[in-house]
């Protein structure tokens, strides 16, 4: 192999790498633009967004037209029926996954990710220890 052919091979490799980098960058950027984010949220993130109170007396997951705003409204009515609840905070029980590149923009701007995170396994332990009375205005879906 001559020096000239090695330089040509290296040049082709660099061009190919640059093209692949540009394509991957475009996919990441486009997947975080609103029309595409909504599609990915509908088809890929179905039932990904799950919420709970500290003791699991209220659990909710987003599905189709059941959105974050609906969860907030139901949680408020649930709080009215449980005024003595010691922790009134709603927690997200889904994590931020750096490999889910289509959610990167949401991690910074979406209200869902501003909620504090609580591990579902910890909630299940408390749920088993505390007697959660059946209250009709509270959802327990999982």
**Nearest-angstrom CA–CA distance, 79 and 107:** 27
Alpha helices in the chain (DSSP H): 3-31, 34-43, 68-81, 104-109, 120-129
Share of the chain above pLDDT 70, in %: 88
**Nearest-angstrom CA–CA distance, 135 and 83:** 12
pTM confidence score: 0.75
For residue 129, is pLDDT > 90?
Answer: no
Quick one: tokens of 76? 């408020």
**Nearest-angstrom CA–CA distance, 118 and 115:** 9
Question: What single-letter DSSP state applies at residue 130?
Answer: S
Cβ atoms of residues 74 and 139 within 8 Å: yes
**Nearest-angstrom CA–CA distance, 69 and 130:** 28
For residue 106, is pLDDT > 90?
Answer: no
Chain segment 115-127, per-residue pLDDT in tens = 999 999 999 888 8
Backbone angles phi, psi at 140, to 5 degrees: -130, 95
């Amino acid at each position: 192999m001559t020096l000239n052919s090695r330089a040509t091979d290296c040049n082709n490799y660099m061009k190919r790498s640059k093209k692949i980098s540009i394509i991957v960058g475009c996919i990441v950027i486009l997947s975080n633009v609103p029309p595409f984010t909504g599609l990915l949220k509908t088809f890929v993130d179905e039932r990904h967004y799950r919420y709970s109170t500290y003791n699991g007396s209220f659990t909710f997951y987003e599905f189709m037209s059941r959105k974050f705003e609906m969860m907030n409204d139901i949680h408020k009515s649930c709080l009215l029926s449980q005024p003595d609840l010691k922790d009134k905070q709603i927690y997200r029980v889904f994590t931020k996954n750096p490999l889910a590149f289509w959610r990167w923009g949401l991690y910074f701007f979406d209200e869902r990710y501003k909620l504090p995170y609580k591990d579902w396994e910890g909630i299940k332990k408390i749920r088993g220890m505390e007697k959660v009375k059946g209250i009709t205005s509270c959802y327990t879906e999982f």
